[in-house]
Amino acid sequence: MGNIAIDGPAGAGKSTIAKMVAKDLGFVYVDTGAMYRAMALYMLNNGVSADDAEKISATCQSADITIKYENNEQVVYLNGENVNGKIRTEEVGNMASASSVNGDVRKKLVELQQKLAKTTDVVMDGRDIGTVVLPDASLKVYLTASSKVRAERRFKELTAKGVECDINVIEQDIIDRDYRDMHRENSPLMQAEDAVLVDSSDMTIQEVADKIIQLYKERN
């Protein structure tokens, strides 16, 4: 299958660009965050507590989660049921935050993501897609931008929503998050040896998407 892995730090525009690339190539964009939310919903449905790591590890094994596109809409299936209308609640978000740090949950979801990539052309973005999830992807991209540019983008987003914020605080938060992502124990953020580095600091989102599409077509 033709799979594209896009990794990089927070705020580099990975999800937006991955969706554009998938749409242009007719691939499925795999929203890994939605998969973690579906897993969290499964925990809640089974009465698992957010602080019961042992029960989370045991329960995640019987969850089957996949993503399909139907009528141009991403549909998340949990054990055969469309759960799109159930995974965006605050309760599910809180459980996803707690359960996603569990090593067994991460391992199970990586297995499910790999299974999906074996049967479908996918574009996946994250921190460890090229290094852990799709090590044999047709194209691996490490998408980044300077912390200053990422802070400016986030500042514009927030001020457009009427949120008061300090650009210096935002940039420091980004620098701190990069450090945490790069130094975490499980699947740290790093550029795969065979990934193409794309710095989007001086590029528009469309230019970045076009570049990735061109790279994929050149290689396939």
Average pLDDT of the segment spanning 143-151: 96
Give, in order, the Cα–Cα distances in Å from 114 to each of 42, 44, 182. Answer: 20, 25, 23
Average pLDDT of the segment spanning 15-19: 92
Under the banding of pLDDT at 50, 70 and 90, the label for residue 128 is confident
Average pLDDT of the segment spanning 25-34: 90
C-beta atoms surrounding 103 within 10 Å: 12
Average pLDDT of the segment spanning 158-174: 93
Positions of E strands within 71-208: 73-78, 81-82, 122-126, 139-144, 196-199
Average pLDDT of the segment spanning 41-55: 96
For 152-161, the pLDDT digits (tens) are 999 998 999 9
Given this model, what pLDDT does residue 188 score?
84
Given this model, what pLDDT does residue 19 score?
92
Given this model, what pLDDT does residue 139 score?
97
Q: What is the pTM of this model?
A: 0.83
Pair 98, 51: CB distance under 8 Å: yes
Q: Is the dihedral of CA 77, 189, 143, 89 positive or negative?
A: positive
The pLDDT of residue 56 is above 80: yes
